[in-house]
Structures are given as C-alpha cells and as structure tokens.
Amino acid sequence: MKLKEKMKQGPVYGITCYTGAACAVEAIGGWGFDFVYLDLEHSSIDGLCNMERLILSALHAGVSPLVRTSGVHDSEIRQLLEMGAEGVVVPHCRTKEDVLEILKNAKFPPMGRRGGESNVRAAAYGTKGFSWSAYTKKSNEDTLVIPMDEDYEFSENIQEILDVPGIDAINFGPVDYALSVGAEVGYQAKDTRVQDAYALLAREAGKRSIGIMAPVVPSAAPDLKAAIGRGINMLILGNDMHHLQTALKSLRKEIESI
C-alpha cells in the first residue's frame, strides 16, 4: 500500500536516515515503520546514484521512501521520483512561487510540467503492458508533495502557500524555524515564536485537510499521543544516528557502572 493510502487510515511513522547505510534503511522497514526519510540536504549521501541504492533498499524492505531534496530542482525531483521515491520533501519553501515550482517539477500535466520517460523504475521500464495515460495518472495520484515550513517567511505567506492545490503535507522544521527568528534551537520548540508558527500551521493546514509532518523527539508513547493531538499525522521518530548514539550512550553507562 502506498503511503498516501496509509495516511487516509491514520497517523504514519517514520525515521530519518542520515548515514546513507542501506542496512539502516532495511532495518527501518523490517521493524514495520511506514516511511524512511532520506536526506540530500544535510547528510553525506553522495549524489543520486547512492540515493538510488537507498530507495531500492526501502522498496525491498517494504517501507515508503521519501526524499528531502537539496532544493527546488527540476532534474533532481524528476530523477528521484523516477527512481521510485514516493514523494519529495523540499526545504526552505518561503513563497507560493516555491511551491508552484515543486508541483511543476513533481507532477505530470495537467497538474504540472514534469518530463516523461518510460525507461525508468517508476514506469517499470515500459514493461507489463505499459500505458502512458495510466502511468502519468497513477503517478500524479500517488506522489506526495511536502514543502517545508522552516522559515518565518512561510508564516508570513502561509495563506497563499497553502491555497496552492496539490500539497499533501507540510513538514514543520522547528530547528531551522528557530534559527530564522533568532530563537533558542531545539526540537522542543520552547520559544513562543516557534510555538506560534506551528499553531498557525496546524490551524491553517487543518482547514484545508493538509497533513503535517514533524519530528517527535523524544518518542515515548505520551509524546506520540500529544503530537497526534496537536495535528501531526506524519511523525518522524528521530534518525538512525540518534538511535545509534542513544544505544552507544546506554552501553557506555553500563561499562562505567562496573
């Protein structure tokens, strides 16, 4: 089942992969998470060839691959979707024009202007009774477009941004949002300016039935319930490095207690 279909049934849960390790992606899928959040903005994942390996690992493990792009780039977005990514998360969207550009690059006509090619994974390489009309229609239906709200300009332009048809969810980034307004940085979003920005997003997205993706760290059951209560339906439960560091820290404490 595609991630967009799962989202209709309730909240979905995922983990970010910064290490670029295929085994980490497969483990995330093996434990039954709904999506893996692959990163081209901050990670050391080297180019689209290595990203393709991670997308393949996700598909093999039965976990939906979402890719945070390095920006609003026509060829990058198109190639990621052709490789099999189920959606793109695009950082630092500040205006309506940014979102329109994403949709233009991610969707086939009439929704956008994405270029087509049948010799790609997303089109099963033109096999199995390939049909252009069926392929483009299904791709437009299944592909998730997720701009990021991580700058104060997003809040200033939120009405016209969210009124753009075709947005599936907004990824709220509390760390970069805090940086943009000179607030204390942290996932807990203690500064009222960051809290108010999220409240504004939750209110306006809710009016339009647009989903909200956000990190929930720590990720104990009470934290998850509280996040869902705040309107978050795509929960990012930390990342592979965070969980590795947590395990290593715990192990180190055991050693030091001897």
pLDDT digits (tens, 9 = 90+) for 213-249: 999 999 999 999 999 999 999 999 999 999 999 999 9
Q: CA–CA separation, 245 vs 125, rounded Å?
A: 40
Q: Which two tokens stand for residue 240?
A: 């592979």
Q: According to the model, what pLDDT value does residue 239 have?
A: 96
Mean pLDDT of 146-153: 98
Q: CA–CA separation, 87 vs 95, rounded Å?
A: 20
pLDDT digits (tens, 9 = 90+) for 50-77: 999 999 999 999 999 999 999 888 899 9
Using a pLDDT cut of 70, give the percent of the chain over it: 100
Q: According to the model, what pLDDT value does residue 186 have?
A: 75
Q: Is residue 224 within 8 Å of 214, Cβ to Cβ?
A: no
Q: How confident is the model at residue 80 (pLDDT cuts 50, 70, 90)?
A: very high
Q: Which two tokens stand for residue 208?
A: 């339009």
**Model's pTM, two decimal places?**
0.95
Query: Where would I find the H helices in the chain?
Result: 3-7, 22-30, 47-61, 74-83, 96-106, 132-142, 152-156, 158-162, 174-181, 192-207, 221-229, 240-256
Q: What is the widest separation between alpha-carbon atoms in the chain?
A: 66
Q: How high does pLDDT run on average in the chain?
A: 96
- The answer, yes or no, to whether the previous bond of 218 is cis (omega within 30 of 0) is yes
Using alpha carbons, select from 10, 67, 12, 9 the residue that is nearest to residue 237. Answer: 12
Mean pLDDT of 35-40: 96
pLDDT digits (tens, 9 = 90+) for 109-142: 999 999 999 999 999 999 989 999 999 999 999 9
Q: According to the model, what pLDDT value does residue 177 have?
A: 96
Domains of the chain: 3-256 (3.20.20.60)
Look up residue 173 and give its amino acid: G
